[in-house]
C-alpha cells in the first residue's frame, strides 16, 4: 500500500478542509460515473442519516439514497455501513457480495483498527470515521468509486499534542513504537526504514520532547500523548 493524499476535486460549493492522512491502494482504473454517485447508508440511527444528508447536500455529484433493496432501489455505487454487533469476516463479506451494495465501506465513530482489518479482509473498500468534515468525506467517496481503498482515522488528542511540540507524523509514530518497548531494529523493520534513519528520527524526537533517555521518552509518550501514569520511567 502507498500513502496518498491526492484526492480528485469534487463539485462542492465550498473550499475543501484539511485532509487527514489517507491510506490508499489503487485497485481499478475505472473512472467515476458521470451521474451522481449513489451512496446507500446501512445505519439504524435516523440522526446519523439526517447528519449525513446535511453533510452531502452541498455536493450535487453525490446522492444519498435508501438502503439497497433488489427490485426497489437502483444499485448503490458505495454502501456505508455500521453495526452494533461485533464485526466478522462472514458478515462483511455478505454485504460485499450483495448485488446492490457496490463498494462497501465501514462508516463508524468507534471502531478499532482490528475491526478495520476484519472489514478490509472481507473485501470492504475502506473505513471512514463519522467525524470527517464534509469535503473530506466527499473526496473519499470519489476515490473509492474510482477504485481506491481509503482508510482514514480521526485526529486524536495525541496528534494535537505531538503537533504542538513540533513532532512530525513519522517522529510521533516512532516515539509511540518506543513506548511499546520494542528496540530500534524492530522499529526499522516495521517502518521500512534503515536503522540509521530510525536513530536520526529518535534523536530529533527526543530534542522536541525535551528528553534524553529512552525511559524518559516512554514516560513522555505515556503521560503527554496518552494521559497515563508512567511511574518509575523517568530515570
CA–CA separation, 186 vs 192, rounded Å?
10
Mean pLDDT score of the chain = 80
Position 9 confidence tier, pLDDT thresholds 50, 70, 90:
very low
Say if 234 falls within a structural domain: no
Question: Of 131, 151, 171, which marks where a domain is finished?
Answer: 151
> Are residues 79 and 172 both part of a single domain?
no
Number of structural domains found in the chain: 2
- State the pLDDT confidence band at 76, using cuts at 50, 70 and 90: very high
**pLDDT tens digit sequence for 155-195:** 777 888 888 999 998 999 899 889 888 899 988 988 889 99
Q: Which of 151, 178, 208 is the last residue of a domain?
A: 151
Q: Is the pLDDT of residue 217 over 90?
A: yes
Q: Are 10 and 64 in the same domain?
A: yes
The CATH number of the domain holding residue 92 is 3.40.50.2300
For the entire predicted model, the pTM comes to 0.56
Average the pLDDT over 218-226 and give the result: 88
Residues 56 and 146 placed together within one structural domain of the fold: yes
Please give the pLDDT value at position 181. Answer: 86
User: Does 235 map to a domain?
Assistant: no
State mean pLDDT over 196-219. Answer: 96
Report yes or no: 89 and 128 within 8 Å, Cβ to Cβ: no
User: What are 150-153's contacts with CB under 8 Å, separation 24+?
Assistant: 150/22, 150/23, 150/24, 150/105, 150/125, 150/126, 151/22, 151/23, 151/116, 151/120, 151/126, 151/127, 152/20, 152/21, 152/22, 152/23, 152/126, 152/127, 152/128, 153/20, 153/21, 153/113, 153/127, 153/129
pLDDT 10s digits, 85-119: 678 899 899 999 998 899 999 998 777 777 888 89
For 213, the domain range is 157-225
User: How is residue 222 annotated by DSSP?
Assistant: I
pLDDT reading at 227 higher than 80: no
Amino acid at each position: 500500500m502507498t500513502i496518498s493524499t491526492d484526492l480528485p476535486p469534487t463539485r462542492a460549493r465550498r473550499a475543501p478542509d484539511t485532509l487527514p492522512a489517507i491510506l490508499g491502494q489503487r485497485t481499478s482504473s475505472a473512472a467515476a460515473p458521470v451521474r451522481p454517485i449513489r451512496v446507500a447508508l446501512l445505519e439504524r440511527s435516523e440522526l446519523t442519516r439526517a447528519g449525513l444528508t446535511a453533510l452531502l447536500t452541498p455536493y450535487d455529484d453525490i446522492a444519498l439514497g435508501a438502503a439497497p433493496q433488489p427490485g426497489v432501489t437502483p444499485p448503490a455505487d458505495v454502501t456505508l455501513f455500521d453495526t452494533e454487533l461485533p464485526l466478522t469476516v462472514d458478515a462483511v463479506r455478505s454485504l460485499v457480495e450483495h448485488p446492490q451494495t457496490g463498494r462497501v465501506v465501514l462508516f463508524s465513530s468507534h471502531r478499532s483498527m482490528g475491526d478495520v482489518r476484519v472489514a478490509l479482509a472481507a473485501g470492504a473498500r475502506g473505513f471512514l470515521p463519522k467525524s470527517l468534515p464534509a469535503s473530506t468525506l466527499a473526496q473519499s467517496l470519489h476515490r473509492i468509486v474510482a477504485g481506491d481503498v481509503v482508510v482514514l482515522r480521526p485526529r486524536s488528542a495525541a496528534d494535537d499534542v505531538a503537533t504542538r511540540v513540533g513532532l512530525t507524523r513519522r517522529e510521533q509514530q516512532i516515539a509511540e513504537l518506543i513506548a511499546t518497548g520494542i528496540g530500534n531494529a524492530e522499529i526499522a523493520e516495521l517502518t521500512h526504514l534503515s536503522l540509521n534513519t530510525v536513530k536520526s528520527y529518535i534523536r530529533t524526537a527526543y530534542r522536541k520532547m525535551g528528553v534524553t533517555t529512552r525511559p524518559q521518552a516512554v514516560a513522555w509518550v505515556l503521560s503527554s500523548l496518552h494521559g497515563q501514569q508512567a511511574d518509575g520511567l523517568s530515570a
